[in-house]
Amino acid sequence: MLLAILRATLFLPWCLALPVPPTTDLKGWEFVKDYFHRFFMTKKDSPLLTQGEQLRFLQQFFRLNVTGLLDKQTLAVLHQPRCGVPDVASYSVFPESLKWNEHILTYRIINYPYGLKRSTVKGIVRAAVSIWSSVTPLVFEEVENQDANIRMSFWTLDHGDGLPFDGPGGVLGHAFLPYSTRPGVIHFDKDEYWSSSYKGVNLFLVATHELGHALGLYHSGNPNSIMYPTYEYQDPLTFHLSLEDIQRIQDLYGRK
């Protein structure tokens, strides 16, 4: 069923803009193939999809010119730092029905990244949870030294959950949906240069994204959504959720 859904998307109308000149870099094609199998469908689940179909699907998901040509624009998008949660859930036949059944949620910061004070991290996380509570009835309470609904921590490389990190510049973090195998768990790659500004990777933006997953949201193909899988800096002081983000989270938890 999932393979049929992915194949069906390949016959939707394509953008008619002229493509960026293609590259014949074999390493580039290998990267695309590995990217597709890592974030969309495993080799076992997609034995019949051709290389061109995989590339067109990626181009459509990221709202690029769907040409089937491996151009520089496509490679640039696929090389951006991103969330490690697979994107294929956006095309799942199952509705976004996983959510917390309570409106008061506790959260805990288990450990901290290099280079940021504990007080700074706490303030960043407090701002991130307020983004979601500002448009829903959700109330977030920080706890110390006890279990919590949402648990945030920083790890390097293989850290025991089957989703190893890859060092600076690759996967920034990942999270588990409510009532999944590790409900509410959020992991950040400790090897990233985390910051509260435009330098390195802004922790507020990534934390807001991963909190979206922990609350029950999958990725969005809308570049204006905080749930878009790749990272792009925005000023935290002027940041706001897109209309799509608000609609999706309110579909789960209702309005403020």
Query: Which of the following is catalytic: 102, 210, 232, 244?
Result: 210
- The predicted pLDDT at position 22 comes to 47
116-157 pLDDT per residue, tens: 999 999 999 999 999 999 999 999 999 999 999 999 999 999
Domain residue extents for the chain = 2-79, 104-253
d(CA 31, CA 112): 32
Contact 141, 107 (CB under 8 A): yes
Read off the pLDDT of residues 189-239 as tens digits, 9 standing for 90 and up: 999 999 999 999 999 999 999 999 999 999 998 999 999 999 999 999 999
Does domain 104-253 bear CATH number 3.40.390.10? yes
What tokens were used for 238? Answer: 């002027």
Percentage of the chain modeled with pLDDT above 90: 71
Amino acid identity of 246? I
From 168, 60, 76, select the one nearest 113 (Cα to Cα). 168
Grade residue 12 by pLDDT with cuts at 50, 70 and 90. Answer: very low
Residues ≥6 apart with Cβ < 8 Å to 213: 83, 85, 174, 175, 176, 177, 186, 227
Distances 236 to 124, 188, 202 between C-alpha atoms, Å: 10, 18, 9
Note the pLDDT of residue 46.
64
Q: What average pLDDT does the chain have?
A: 87
Residue 91 — pLDDT band, cuts 50, 70, 90? very low
| 117 HSE (CA, 13 A, CB side) | 3
**What is the per-residue pLDDT for 179?**
86
More confident residue, 101 or 5: 101
Indicate if 210 belongs to the active site: yes
> What's the order of all strands across the beta sheet hosting 185-189?
82-83, 171-175, 185-189, 150-155, 104-109, 139-142
pTM, full prediction: 0.86
